[in-house]
Amino acid sequence: MIIGVPKEVKKDEYRVAITPAGVRELTSAGHIVHVEQGAGEGSSIPDAEYVATGAKIVPDPDEVWAGADMVLKVKEPVEQEYHRLSLRKDQVLFTYLHLAASRECTEALMTAGNVAIAYETVRLPDNSLPLLTPMSEVAGRMAPIVASQHLMRPAGGRGTLVCGVPGVEAAKVVILGAGVAGMAAATLAVGLHSSVYILDRNLERLRQVDHHFRGALETIASSTHAIEQQCVDADIVIGAVLVVGARAPKLVNDDLVAQMRPGSVLVDISIDQGGCFESSRPTTHTDPTFKVHQSLFYCVANMPGAVPHSSTYALANATLPYTLELANQGWQAAVKVDAPLAEGVNVVDGKVTYEPVAEAHGMDYVSLDSLI
């Protein structure tokens, strides 16, 4: 199979869909990999590294798309790429799609008549989303780092050193949500020697967290009362909650922020689901924070975008096994034996095969089983 990897064209997207290690796995299995010239630049992966593991560098993006049986990307196609979707019949596109949020992109894929498989809807039997997890891990680990930088006085913070010093207490870090991002944030916050408190509604989850950290942090059952009690004297609050299929619940209101320590920092990782603080609004890496009362809000909707090198490797590590299955077996055979991968199939030959996307746009849903 010929696998094409174009350079991402969406604004501020520096990740790339494959690493040199991935190229080596695919070429060792007998496939041909075409990487667009400069595709890895944003992630600090030079063309030469891809060539060294067997890729062919192709200068023209149209050529990458037209020559590929399967295109690997990071972000959903944007308007300037739509004409490329129909350059090749029966092509498989494997990427983040988020089609429920874009009727335009859904229609472009339906018109192209190819097969579109979305990273974000691949789902394991325990309901976890293995191709979203790595980005929650990146954002979660980043949160205490960006928060501790903003806690410094020149950045507008309280002027507290997150880890304290002998004789002076460390910062108090409160994490709302003990899922993938919350656990990743806790790992870093504990590593930074801060005082960590993590809240979740799921007691079983808190038991696992307690067992994992063996006393290095406090677990607290989440309630309005507990959140108020913990946040009021916190230096850092990290919002990492998710209610699947819904907007994030607003857990920290402005009245509570008004009572918090001046110069405290609130990082809203859940901002991509609407945010879990009352006054959260999406910000960017170029202008990441704003003030609410005397506190600083950090609400960057694409936190992993700041560390594209790490994010590319984290994402590609997770996608590669599925890419290999698709390449080795062909998409139809692969989804027949891999039910989680089958959940990733969103559009086939002009038909929407993922029910929530069809519902979101009032389109007809066609079950994948009826098509293969």
Ligand X SMILES: NC(=O)c1ccc[n+]([C@@H]2O[C@H](COP(=O)([O-])OP(=O)(O)OC[C@H]3O[C@@H](n4cnc5c(N)ncnc54)[C@H](O)[C@@H]3O)[C@@H](O)[C@H]2O)c1
Binding status of residue 181 toward ligand X by CB under 6 A: yes
Window 292-311: residues binding ligand X (CB under 6 A): 301-304
Q: What are the structure tokens assigned to 172, written together?
A: 């108090």
* Residue 143 contacts ligand X per CB under 6 A: no
Q: Which is nearer to ligand X, 57 or 301 (CB)?
A: 301
**How far, in Å, CA of 46 to CA of 4, rounded?**
17
328 is an interface residue for ligand X by CB under 6 A: no
Answer for which of 98, 205, 261, 309 binds ligand X (CB under 6 A) is 205
- Binds ligand X by CB under 6 A, chosen from 39, 92, 118, 176: 176
Q: Which residue is nearest to ligand X (CB)?
A: 179
Of the residues 225, 255, 272, 364, only one is catalytic, namely 272
CB of 268 vs ligand X, minimal distance in Å? 8
Determine the Cα–Cα distance for residues 39 and 329; give it in Å rounded to an integer: 26
* Range 13-52, binding ligand X (CB under 6 A): none
Smallest gap from Cβ 360 to ligand X, in A, equals: 17
Residue type, 330: G
- Kindly list the distances between the CA atom of residue 308 and the CA atoms of 118, 180, 340, in Å, as whole numbers in the listed order: 20, 19, 26
With left for phi above 0 and alpha for psi between -120 and 50, is residue 12 left, alpha or beta? left
Q: Which two tokens stand for residue 175?
A: 């994490």
Check residue 270 for interaction with ligand X (CB under 6 A): yes
Q: Using CB under 6 A, which of 242, 315, 320, 347 touches ligand X?
A: 242
Unique residue bearing structure tokens 């309280």: 158
17, 180, 238, 327: which one contacts ligand X (CB under 6 A)? 180
What lies within 8 Å, CB to CB, of 83 at 6+ separation is: none
Q: Determine which one of 98, 193, 293, 309 is catalytic.
A: 98
User: 182 or 308: whose CB is closer to ligand X?
Assistant: 182
For ligand X, the binding residue among 43, 187, 273, 312 (CB under 6 A) is 273
Question: Least distance to ligand X from the beta carbon of 215, Å?
Answer: 21
Stretch that binds ligand X, among 71-79, 133-141, 155-163, 330-338 (CB under 6 A): 133-141
Our answer to whether residue 98 is catalytic in this structure is yes
Give me the least distance between CB of 144 and ligand X, in Å please: 14
338 is catalytic: no
Angle formed at CA 238 by CA 211 and CA 99, multiple of 5 degrees: 100
The verdict on 241 binding ligand X (CB under 6 A) reads: yes
Smallest separation, CB 77 to ligand X (Å):
21
Number of residues that bind ligand X (CB under 6 A): 32
Residue pointed to by tokens 């796995």: 25
From the list 229, 231, 234, the residue with the least C-alpha distance to 151 is 234
- How many Cα atoms are found within 13 Å in the side-chain-facing hemisphere of 170? 16
Note whether 135 binds ligand X by CB under 6 A. yes
Q: Is 139 in the site for ligand X (CB under 6 A)?
A: yes
CA–CA dist 151, 364 (Å, integer): 50
Q: Does 208 help bind ligand X (rule: CB under 6 A)?
A: no
Identity of the residue, 27 or 202, whose beta carbon is nearer to ligand X in the bound complex: 202
Enumerate binding residues for ligand X (CB under 6 A).
Answer: 135-136, 139, 176-182, 199-202, 205, 222, 240-243, 248-249, 251, 269-273, 301-304
> Looking at the annotation, which residues are catalytic?
98, 272
